Amino acid sequence: MTAPSTYGLSTQARNLQWLLTDLVEEVPGVNSVAVVSSDGLLLLSSDPGGAAGATPAPTKGPRGASADLATIVSGLGSLTTGAAELMDGGAVKQTMVAMEFGSVFVMAISDGSLLGVHATPDCDMSVVAYHMALFVGRAGHVLTPEVRSELRQSMEKTP
């Protein structure tokens, strides 16, 4: 895989892109990955048509659209947060949807930001969840309002 273009980005933004690339390349069965802000905007994606400097997914997911995954991640995050509030369940840590032809995982990062992963049906769910937790642990303190703003602006510059 070609390294993403990081020209003009801060060290923190480049580190987040590196973490995303590592997640996609190192975890078997991962189709695509998206990082979504609390307001549902796509910040980072493994789809080359997504965020600036994003890396391509090892296999093509349905429609190959990072916007689709971002929409799903944002919707699932909102739905599960509402359900947790109604049930007095506390903060949602992770959501997983297992389907016949794949799985979708959503994990909270910080300040409402979410990490979403679309994986193959035969993936090892515990391995995917473990690597997502590693990403969240490493990215949580880096994904500041300033970095989120920088990533949003880089998305707007993407052709």
Predicted confidence (pLDDT) per residue in 44-55, tens digit: 988 754 443 334
d(CA 108, CA 117): 12
- Phi and psi torsions of 40, nearest 5°: 85, 5
d(CA 16, CA 140): 10
Phi, psi (deg, nearest 5) at residue 149? -60, -45
pLDDT at position 55 is 40
| Element holding 156 (H helix, E strand) | helix 145-156
Give the pLDDT mean for 117-145: 92
Residue type, 105: F
Q: pLDDT tens, 93-129?
A: 999 999 999 999 999 998 789 999 999 999 999 999 9
pTM of the predicted model as reported, rounded to 2 decimal places:
0.82
In this prediction, residue 7 carries a pLDDT of: 60
